[in-house]
Each structure stands twice: as C-alpha cells, then as structure tokens.
A = this chain, B = another copy of it.
C-alpha cells in the first residue's frame, strides 16, 4: 500500500481503520455476510433477524454457535456455555448474585485490582458481597498486573475475580494466579478469542461480545457445572446461571441478531485457523506497534511493563502531551480513527482485536513514524 501524504487521507481511498475499544471492528467477511444474509426474507416470510427464537432455525443457529465456541476454546465437558443479554456490567452483579452462598459459608468475595474495570466490577460487587481486595497492582510505572505472590483469599471466599485484560489500562496478566480451591472468575471481555485460554483453570469466564465476539448486547458466560448448584436466590431469572443453563440460554427471548453474528464470527475464526493462528497474528500486530513505540527515542511512551502489555489494547502516550489532539486530528484525517485513550487515563490507545488486519496496524505504524519524524 502506498503511504499517503499528510492531508490526503486513507479515508478518501476507502481504506480507513477504526481502533475503537468497543463496539469494535467486525471481520470484513462477517460484515459482508451479515449484511447480505440476516436481512433477507426466506421462504417462510422471515429474515433471520425476524425469526422466532423458539423456532428450529434459530435454535439450530444457537446450537451451531455454541458448538463452534466450545471447539475454539476447547471448553471441557463439565462447563456450560451461556449466551446472555446485556454486557459485562450485568455480570458484575450476576457473579456475586449467583456465586455467593452465605448459608454454605461462602459469603465473601475476593477481587484482584488490576485497573479501571476490575475496580468497576468490585464497586458493583460491594452492593451484594463482603469484598476483599485479594491483590492490587503497584500503581507505579511501569504499570503491571498484581504480582502473583501474597494474594489474600479470606476464608469463605465464594470466588476470586480477576480482569484478565484491562481494556482501559492496557494491562494483561502474563500468567494466571493460582487461587487453589477458590474458583477463579475472569472478566475476559477484551481478550477472549484473541488467543487460546485454558478454561479448566477457571470456575467462570465471562465476556461481553463487542470486542472479539460480535455486536453489543450479548455476553458469553462459561461456567463450571458445580457452581450452578449455588442457590442464587436473588439473581433475576435471565441472569441466573442455573436457570439459563437448564433452559439453553432461552429463559426469555435472547438477543438473536447478536447471537447470529457471533456465530458468523466463530466460523470466521475457525476458517482463519482457530485461536493459535489468531494469537500468532495478534502477537505480531502488538509486537510491531509496541516496537515502534519503544524505538521512538521516547517520543511515544508505553507505560505498561513489557510482560504485562495487552496484545488487544495497546496503551501509549506522547512524551509531549500538548501534541495529543494534533496527533488525533492528523490520524483521523489519514483514516486512523478512535485512537483517543479512555478519559480515565488519557493519552492514546489502539485496540487491535482479531478483526483488525495487519494492514491496519501497518498504516498506524507508518503514520506514527512520520508523525514522530515531523514533531520529534
């Protein structure tokens, strides 16, 4: 691809890239297929988006999506996969509502604080549980996930919650903590399907769809069967894991369109070679971008320690923060959109989910190199 001179955007040429943290880019092939297939009426007078969720067509599509996801993640047999309405924040409440069991001596909840989203999860849990901060990131740069030693898991911990990848902070656990008998619960929203994940290490994994799975409004929950036996008396039925597992995620009308698109995404990942192939490309994309930052002679700064850097949410900033708005304006004119960091931490962020091709990252790197040359 020919690098564009500043001012003559990729946008005009039709090659523009959104680095949004979510809802994020869908794979080109999925976008095309969704547009072509989901809104076309069949012989029964209904397009996929219009089909009853109790009908054979939708049930087959849901079963197919579930099978593909189980195959991609190699979900062990004693886990159930739920397709639930809403976002990860619904699970911030659903996790304590479902897993606490004070009558069985499981009235406490342990949370590791690795950044913005783990704190949001904790805030919500505070309304339902006695929350203990099991571990906390150091807070000083280079930033990192909490150290794996010295975790406090109080007696009677119903679970220990981590945020596997911090979308805002750009921090990921390089190695998972070992919480022993206490079920490890992970918010994997922004890293699921970016690489293989050993589900057997978790009691429960949840992920909202709008990063690597599909459209917003859907959340996947993968839960170990023994945890479904906890009473969950206060969980609303659509957020009650046991009830949803017993009814195949169809306690009420599920977000059918989002599930259909998710199925197309799972199929696309399989066609790309599965999660090992995904991880290889994702690591290469992230490595190129972080290398550009690290080799910029301090013009760009990545505040996270190399081993803890997220491969899906690359966070960085300009040493000279007064150039940030200018960087964003020029980037946007060149068709590189949604690079502003989350308001909570400022700076810049490039989200490199599965659907972002290497060409998009290459375009970003070319722009960053040119920008650094002109303003460095």
- Nearest CB of chain B from residue A225's CB, rounded to whole Å: 23
- Nearest CB of chain B from residue A126's CB, rounded to whole Å: 11
Cβ–Cβ < 8 Å partners of A216 in chain B = 53, 253-257
Cβ–Cβ < 8 Å partners of A97 in chain B = 236
The interface size of chain A toward B, counting residues with CB under 8 Å, comes to 74
Chain A positions 31 through 63: 1 when the CB is less than 8 Å from some CB of chain B, otherwise 0: 110111011111111110111110100000000
Check if B210 sits within 8 Å of A253, measured CB to CB.
yes
Cβ–Cβ < 8 Å partners of A31 in chain B = 39, 41, 47, 49-50
Assembled-state Cα–Cα distance A33/B88 (Å) = 30
Cβ–Cβ < 8 Å partners of A51 in chain B = 18, 20, 23
Check if B11 sits within 8 Å of A44, measured CB to CB.
yes
* A332 lies within 8 A of chain B by Cβ: yes
Check if A238 sits within 8 Å of B90, measured CB to CB.
yes
Assembled-state Cα–Cα distance A85/B24 (Å) = 18
* A313 lies within 8 A of chain B by Cβ: no
* A281 lies within 8 A of chain B by Cβ: no
Chain A contacts with B in 10-34, Cβ cutoff 8 A: 11-12, 15-18, 20-26, 31-32, 34
| 16 more CB-based (< 8 A) A-B contacts, given A45-B360, A85-B86, A210-B253 | A11-B45, A20-B46, A23-B51, A26-B50, A34-B49, A35-B38, A35-B39, A35-B40, A44-B337, A49-B261, A53-B216, A85-B90, A90-B239, A93-B236, A124-B237, A217-B258
19 contacts between A and B (CB under 8 A): A12-B43, A16-B44, A23-B51, A23-B52, A32-B39, A34-B49, A49-B261, A85-B87, A86-B238, A87-B238, A88-B252, A90-B252, A127-B234, A215-B256, A216-B255, A217-B253, A217-B255, A217-B256, A217-B258
Lowest 8 CB-CB distances: which A-B pairs, in order? Answer: A217-B255, A35-B39, A93-B236, A16-B45, A89-B252, A44-B337, A18-B46, A85-B86
